[in-house]
Chains A and B, each alone.
Chain A
Amino acid sequence: MREHFLKEIEEINQQLLRMSVIVEENIHKSVKALKNQDPKLAKEVIATDGEVNAFELAITDACVRFIALGQPVATDLRWIVACLKAVSEIERIGDYAVHAAKRAKELADEKYIKPLIDIPKMLVLGAEMLREAVNSLVNADPELARATAARDEEMDNLNKQVYRELLALMLEDKDNIKQGTKLLFLSRFLERMGDHAVAICGWTVYAVQGEHSDL
């Protein structure tokens, strides 16, 4: 029984890793699409979103099957609940990568009102936080979860920096408002990426230590 149980757990872990790798790749492609104003690459990201959504459903089904047939308790039960919650968070992060790609597509033919420096940084940071958060869950590593969650401050600071700069540019010239607003929304979305990664970290701590903590 236990061997069979462990195989199921390993399979769900592998699916979570595969899903998060796709989202991570999408984030990096969105960075490139934004920086290089490459609408073709942006479309590629948008097209992959269905695959991410399919992963979410497949992992949810696998978790439900595991609960029904394995009747997990204690750490196993907390872990499967954490997976169910984490898979939704990963899917949301995937949506933000798609948002970034959509903005890249929209802005592909416009001259940027400022060089994009901090927004790509936020995307890269979001991808790193996602990878570490999912690793903390599949490796049952609460220390990594706490360290990853602490990086959200960096994300918040980048968001504030982008906000300040765009506000100044929009005050300077009202022609900047249209693109400035799009970039402001994008920055806000990317800041939420960090929050979703932190939520995954919270579920890791719950799975391993059985407590809900504010990270």
Chain B
Amino acid sequence: MVQVQERPAESKSQEVRGKVITVKDLSAFYGKSRAVDEINMSFQPGEITAIIGPSGCGKSTMIRCINRMHEEIVGASISGQVLIGDDDIYSPETSPMRIRRKIGMVFQKPNPFPTMSIHDNVLAGLKLNSARLTEPEEEVVERCLREVALWDEVKDKLQTSGVALSGGQQQRLCIARAIAVKPEVLLLDEPCSALDPIATLKIEELPIGMRNEFTIILVTHNMQQAARVSDKTAFFLGENGKGGRLIEFSSTTEIFTTPKEKRTEDYISGRFG
């Protein structure tokens, strides 16, 4: 039998940073209501993992557990473990602030700091963390803006406000801000849902170029986006009012050509959801 070829892994020949994220028996709750139910999976460095599933299946809750943002909501709690490398991020000795320094997150709507310039937005994470810079500020700004393909568009107006940029540019600025602190993990929570198709394409290019630098997790409603961007895809589904469960987790090629689970097939081909 002929095997279907997987997407070529460009990253394998290069050095890969980032750490393995291991999720063990993770359940997340809002009060008594279970949003995520007994998830076991791992995210590999050098790979982009997409999480797809219908609204309310726990995709965003799941990644908010990875940087301990879930617990910021009143009444929210989790059970189970999340390890970044060997670090148990929920161990009592671990400070949420220290964890969040290792994890960059980009949200649905671009949220540059409105009172800061483009320049200061890029450096905001570093300054808030009181991090000691190992390279001059100007170089950090240029490097990060180049990485998100924004440098040429803003290099002459670095001192103008970040909110003066277009939506797509603002989102790239937010990604630049997130990567300036050299995180180990980059969480992208529907980063293109508020953007037009051209801005979306520009954003989609970024994680592909960055997959060697960070372990990247992308939550998306857009299945074509998951197919275009990711190496692996996880399908979440919440059934019968229970929390979202991991239904299938496999290479993106397999999920979109020969999914094993009928529920995955039904969702990705639009039979429900």
Interface residues of A (CB under 8 A from B): 1-2, 5, 71-78, 210-213
Query: A2: which B residues are within 8 A, CB to CB?
Result: 270-271
A71-B224, A211-B1 given; A78·B257 CB < 8 A: yes
Complex A-B, nearest 4 residue pairs according to Cβ-Cβ distance, in ascending order: A210-B258, A212-B2, A73-B256, A74-B265
**Inter-subunit contact B269/A75 (CB<8 Å):** yes
A85, chain B: closest CB distance, angstroms: 14
Per-position contact with A for B205-237: 1 when CB-CB < 8 Å, else 0? 000000000000000000110010000000000
In the complex, which residues of chain A have a beta carbon less than 8 angstroms from the beta carbon of B224? 71
B58-81: CB near A (< 8 Å → 1, else 0) gives: 000000000000000000000000
Q: Does B176 contact A (CB under 8 A)?
A: no
| With known contacts A74-B258, A74-B265, A210-B258, A5–B270 Cβ distance under 8 A | yes
- How distant is B47 from chain A, measured CB to nearest CB, in Å? 20
Q: Which of B238-273 contact A (CB under 8 A)?
A: 256-259, 264-265, 268-271
Residues of chain B within 8 A of A210, CB atoms compared: 257-258
Residue of A nearest to B271 (CB): A2
CB neighbours of A77 from chain B (8 A)? 256-257
The chain B residue sitting closest to A77, CB to CB, is B257
Partner of A76 from B2, B258, B264, B269 at Cβ < 8 Å? B269
CB-nearest residue of chain A relative to B223? A73
**Which of the listed residues A72, A75, A78 has the most CB atoms from chain B within 10 Å of its own CB?**
A75
Give the residues in chain B near A72, CB-CB below 8 Å.
Answer: 269
Most B-side CB within 10 Å, residue of A71, A73, A213: A73
Q: In the complex the two chains form, what is the Cα distance from A76 to B268 in whole Å?
A: 10
Residues of A within 8 A of B269 (CB): 72-76
Across the interface, A1 reaches (CB within 8 A) one of B256, B257, B270, namely B270
User: Is the CB–CB distance between A73 and B2 below 8 Å?
Assistant: no
Which residues on B sit within 8 Å (CB–CB) of A213?
1
In the assembly, what is the distance between CA of A211 and CA of B271, in Å? 23
In the complex, which residue of chain A has the Cβ closest to the Cβ of B268?
A73
Q: Cα distance A2–B272 when bound, in Å?
A: 9
- Chain B residue numbers with a CB within 8 Å of A78 are 257-258
Min CB distance A78 to B, Å, is 7
A5 — which chain B residues lie within 8 A by C-beta? Answer: 270
Query: Which chain A residues lie closer than 8 Å to B223 at the CB level?
Result: 73
| B204 CB to nearest A CB, Å | 16
Contact B1 A212, beta carbon cutoff 8 Å: yes
Residue pair A74, B259 in contact (C-beta under 8 Å):
yes
- Nearest residue in B to A5 (C-beta to C-beta)? B270
| Cβ A74 vs Cβ B268 within 8 A | yes
Q: Which residues on B sit within 8 Å (CB–CB) of A76?
A: 269
Residue contact B1 to A74, C-beta cutoff 8 Å: no
Q: What B residues does A75 contact at CB under 8 A?
A: 265, 269
Question: In chain A, what residue has the closest Cβ to B272?
Answer: A2
In the bound complex, what is the Cα–Cα distance between A77 and B268 (angstroms)?
11
Of all chain B residues, the one with the shortest Cβ separation from A78 is B257
Chain A residues, Cβ within 8 Å of B270? 1-2, 5
Contacts of B1 in A (CB 8 A): 211-213
Contact B227 A73 (CB under 8 A): yes
- Measured CB to CB, the closest approach of chain B to A125, in angstroms, equals 28
A5 to chain B, nearest CB (A): 7
How far, in Å, is A10 (CB) from chain B's closest CB?
A: 16
Known: A74-B269, A77-B257. 15 other contacts (CB 8 A): A1-B270, A2-B270, A2-B271, A5-B270, A72-B269, A73-B223, A73-B257, A74-B259, A75-B269, A76-B269, A78-B257, A78-B258, A212-B1, A212-B2, A213-B1
Q: Chain A nearest CB: distance from B60 CB in Å?
A: 23
A211 partner residues in chain B, CB cutoff 8 A? 1, 258
16 residue pairs from A and B, CB less than 8 Å apart: A1-B270, A2-B271, A5-B270, A73-B223, A73-B257, A73-B269, A74-B257, A74-B258, A74-B264, A74-B268, A75-B265, A77-B257, A210-B257, A210-B258, A211-B1, A212-B1
